[in-house]
Amino acid sequence: MNEKIEHHHLEICESTQITLKEILASKDEVENILITSEKQTLGRGRGTNKWESTPNSIAMSFSLRPHPVITLTSLELGVLICRYFQGAQLKLKWPNDILNSKGLKSAGILCQTYKDHILVGLGLNYGTSDEIKPSKEYKFGRGYIHEDSLTKEKLIKTSKELYQFILDNRTSTNDFSKEWSSYCIHQNKSVTIIDDQRRDQGLFIGIGKNGEALLEKEGAIKSVYTGSLYLD
Q: Give the containing element (helix H, strand E) for 221.
A: strand 220-224
Q: Which fold has domain 6-180?
A: BirA Bifunctional Protein; domain 2 (3.30.930)
Residue 40, pLDDT score: 84
Average of per-residue pLDDT values in the chain: 89
Residue 100, pLDDT score: 93
**Residue 17, amino acid:** Q
Q: Each residue of 175-231: pLDDT tens digit?
A: 889 999 999 999 999 999 999 889 999 999 999 999 999 999 999 999 999 999 999
Domain boundaries, the chain: 6-180, 186-231
Distance between CA atoms of residues 176 and 185, nearest Å: 16
Distance between CA atoms of residues 203 and 192, nearest Å: 9
The predicted model scores a pTM of 0.89
Sheet containing 228-231: order of strands: 220-224, 213-217, 198-207, 190-195, 228-231
Tell me the CA distances in angstroms from 146 to 11, 51, 171, one per residue in order.
22, 19, 28
Distance between CA atoms of residues 139 and 6, nearest Å: 36
Q: Which fold has domain 186-231?
A: SH3 type barrels. (2.30.30)
Q: At what angle do helices 73-84 and 152-168 cross, to 10 degrees?
A: 120
**Cα 116 to the center of its chain, rounded Å:** 20
Distance between CA atoms of residues 126 and 123, nearest Å: 9
